[in-house]
Structure 1
Amino acid sequence: MSALTNTYQPTVRENLQRLLCEAWHKLEQQPLESGALAQRAEHLARCTGENRAWAQSLFVWGVASLYEGQTHQAITLLSRALAVYRFLGDEEGQWSCLKAIALAWHHAGDTVQALETHAVAGRFKRQAEFLARATWLRWFAD
């Protein structure tokens, strides 16, 4: 006699969404723990062609790297996220990346790049709306 068991295995897309949700949550609560989750989500997103998830995972990973003090890695990851957000036409994603890149340049000691990048972010018409939702910025408040 065999017992039927529920052996449901989540799909790759479901795993990706779960990882991404966890990474965002950790970024809000404990940013040091969000990087590894975002890195795993980035791999899945890239492999499956999920561009929005790819951009989000690169962004979370980049912000986590910035929080850890890895400014050059953060700039690289955030620049990649920015490129994907531009491809998607996502203004809030672009603005968020530019703000984070400006912070990274500032922390790296390059004031000129920081100001130039911040100025580009300042050109978005809906920046006040974006700023209100950018809770990740609180980790970098001076």
Structure 2
Amino acid sequence: MNTMALDIVTPNGSVFSEEDCEIIILQTKQGELGVMAGHVPTVSALKIGSLRAKIDGRYEYFAVTEGFVEIRPERVSVLIQAGEFAEDIDTARARQAKERAEQLLEQAKDEKVDRYRAELALNRAINRINVSEHA
């Protein structure tokens, strides 16, 4: 079976590297994108979402923030601000972050709260909770 390499990189460095991925599924701004070996070269913007990589017949799940993906026929490079393996997500902390973001959005109706940042925080927290279910 043809495989490809996957590198997930944050500003702090590489968080994951694998040489033998069978398929990689990403959440782009345009929709879900599945990538297999030999894919046409592409660059795309990522949204807050999950990244799934099938390795040795089973899927690894990652929660990722917004960023970019560069796809080449033999390698996928994911550049994001932050990412976590599903099993590393502290769901209690993610639920607390979700509650804080919801409170901020509620306050945004009456006060000067940065609504955009609060919505991003809420989306990140919800994504982390959803991805943690795959641990």
Q: TM-score, normalised by structure 2?
A: 0.27
- Larger % of strand: which? 2
- Larger % of helix: which? 1
* Higher Rg of the two aligned structures: 1
Q: TM-score, normalised by structure 1?
A: 0.26
